[in-house]
């Protein structure tokens, strides 16, 4: 793993999904095999290492964010869009935490999406941000599949346990089931029962880029339109049963 430090020129950027996105790191050691950022971030950042094997820590992110927030119109900040802001390096650098302290000062809403229970460390700060929505990306209920596709991320069981704590702490919570990986949709939704207010569902984007990985593991049938549609229907039915708000983003 190559970790470098850099001075970023901007950390609060416009987003098509929310008003802003904030990425305290370039690169992501969660190393997901389906990561769309892996398709463009290595070239964009000039790295030749495989995806998941490099990170740049934007060590000026908190000061830069403060300067940008002074001038920004109030809007929701998505943390993060092309990295996981709670990947292991964050335990050392605390860049996400320091950015949250700035966000708290300016009182912007945040939407935090992660795969790591390191987010629990920052609940104290998040409590003081008026509009904070927290959620986990959980693409399958199957730990073996998760470890295959997301080799650097914490297991599903830890994400579920963290959701329990976050929900009990009174936050608005969500789960992002995307991309749909091989799974038992009913079991997955039952694991989330009572822990999230809303579920988002997405399919695998750009399957052509990732199909070789599926093939190597004999899983190509799970990267098909048929499979995504079948799981979507089952997740819809299960969400009605458990009374989740559901948003399908494909
Ligand atoms: S956690 Fe997100 S950004 Fe990081 S590798 Fe996985 S999909 Fe990509």
Nearest-atom number in ligand 1 for the CA of 114 is: 1
CA 237 / ligand 1 centre spacing (Å): 28
**Cβ of residue 235 lying under 6 Å from some atom of ligand 1:** no
Dist. CA 107–CA 100, nearest whole Å: 10
Q: How does residue 53 score in pLDDT terms, banded at 50, 70 and 90? A: very high
Tell which residue, 155, 137, 145, has the closest CA to residue 213.
Answer: 145
Quick check: is 183 in a domain?
Answer: no
Dist. CA 41–CA 47, nearest whole Å: 8
Quick check: is 175 in a domain?
Answer: no
Mean pLDDT over all residues of the chain? 97
Tell which residue, 93, 37, 105, 28, has the closest CA to residue 66.
Answer: 105
Q: Which residue has its alpha carbon closest to ligand 1 atom 6?
A: 32
How much is the pTM? 0.97
| Number of domains the chain is built from | 1
State residue 246 phi and psi, 5-degree precision. Answer: -130, 135
Dist. CA 177–CA 194, nearest whole Å: 16
Q: Which residue has its alpha carbon closest to ligand 1 atom 3?
A: 83
**β-bridge partners, 13:** 21
Dist. CA 181–CA 153, nearest whole Å: 15
Q: CB-based contacts of 1: which residues, under 8 Å, 6+ apart?
A: 29, 53, 54, 55
Quick check: is 102 in a domain?
Answer: yes
State residue 17 phi and psi, 5-degree precision. Answer: -90, -50
Nearest-atom number in ligand 1 for the CA of 31 is: 5
Task: Provide the pLDDT for residue 51.
Answer: 97
Q: What is the pLDDT of residues 221-250, one digit of tens each?
A: 999 999 999 999 999 999 999 988 999 999
Task: Provide the pLDDT for residue 116.
Answer: 98
**Cβ of residue 28 lying under 6 Å from some atom of ligand 1:** yes
Range(s) of the domain holding residue 94 = 1-130
Q: Which residue has its alpha carbon closest to ligand 1 atom 8?
A: 35
Query: What is the chain's length?
Result: 250
Question: Residue range 179-191: average pLDDT?
Answer: 97
Quick check: is 198 in a domain?
Answer: no
Dist. CA 153–CA 30, nearest whole Å: 5
CA 241 / ligand 1 centre spacing (Å): 30
Q: What is the pLDDT of residues 58-75, one digit of tens each?
A: 999 999 999 999 999 999
CA 32 / ligand 1 centre spacing (Å): 5
Task: Provide the pLDDT for residue 104.
Answer: 97
Radius of gyration for the chain, computed over Cα atoms and rounded to the nearest angstrom: 18
Quick check: is 242 in a domain?
Answer: no
Q: How does residue 55 score in pLDDT terms, banded at 50, 70 and 90? A: very high
> How many contiguous H segments (helices) and E segments (strands) does the chain have?
10, 11
Quick check: is 107 in a domain?
Answer: yes
**Cβ of residue 115 lying under 6 Å from some atom of ligand 1:** yes
Question: Residue range 174-194: average pLDDT?
Answer: 97
Kindly give the interhelix angle for 185-192 and 225-242, rounded to the nearest 10 degrees: 40
Q: What is the pLDDT of residues 128-161, one digit of tens each?
A: 998 999 999 999 999 999 999 999 999 999 999 9
Dist. CA 76–CA 19, nearest whole Å: 5
Quick check: is 146 in a domain?
Answer: no
Contact (CB, 8 A) for 72 and 105: no
Q: What is the pLDDT of residues 10-39, one digit of tens each?
A: 999 999 999 999 999 999 999 999 999 999
**Cβ of residue 33 lying under 6 Å from some atom of ligand 1:** no
**Cβ of residue 37 lying under 6 Å from some atom of ligand 1:** yes
Q: In percent, how much of the chain has pLDDT > 70? A: 100
Quick check: is 54 in a domain?
Answer: yes
Nearest-atom number in ligand 1 for the CA of 150 is: 6
**Cβ of residue 30 lying under 6 Å from some atom of ligand 1:** yes
């Amino acid at each position: 793993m190559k970790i470098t430090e850099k001075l970023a020129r901007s950390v609060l950027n416009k987003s098509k999904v929310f008003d802003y996105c904030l990425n305290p790191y370039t690169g992501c050691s969660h190393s997901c095999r389906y990561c769309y950022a892996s398709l463009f971030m290595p070239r964009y950042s000039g790295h030749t290492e495989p995806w998941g094997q490099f990170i740049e820590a934007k060590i000026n992110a908190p000061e830069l964010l403060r300067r940008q927030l002074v001038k920004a119109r109030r809007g929701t900040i998505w943390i993060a869009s092309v990295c996981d802001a709670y990947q292991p390096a964050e335990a050392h650098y605390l860049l996400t935490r320091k950015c949250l302290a700035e966000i708290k000062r300016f009182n912007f809403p945040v939407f935090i999406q992660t795969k790591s229970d390191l987010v629990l460390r920052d609940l104290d700060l998040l409590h003081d941000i008026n509009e904070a929505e927290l959620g986990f990306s959980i693409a399958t209920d199957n730990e073996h599949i998760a470890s295959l596709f997301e080799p650097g991320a914490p297991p599903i069981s830890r994400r579920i346990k963290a959701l329990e704590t976050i929900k009990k702490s009174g936050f608005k919570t969500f789960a992002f089931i995307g991309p749909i990986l091989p799974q038992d949709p009913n079991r997955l939704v039952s694991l989330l029962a009572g822990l999230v207010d809303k579920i988002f569902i997405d399919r695998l984007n750009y399957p052509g880029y990732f199909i070789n990985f599926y093939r190597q593991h004999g899983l190509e049938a799970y990267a098909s339109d048929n499979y995504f549609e079948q799981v979507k229907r089952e997740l819809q039915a299960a969400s009605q049963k458990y009374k989740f708000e559901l948003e399908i983003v494909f």
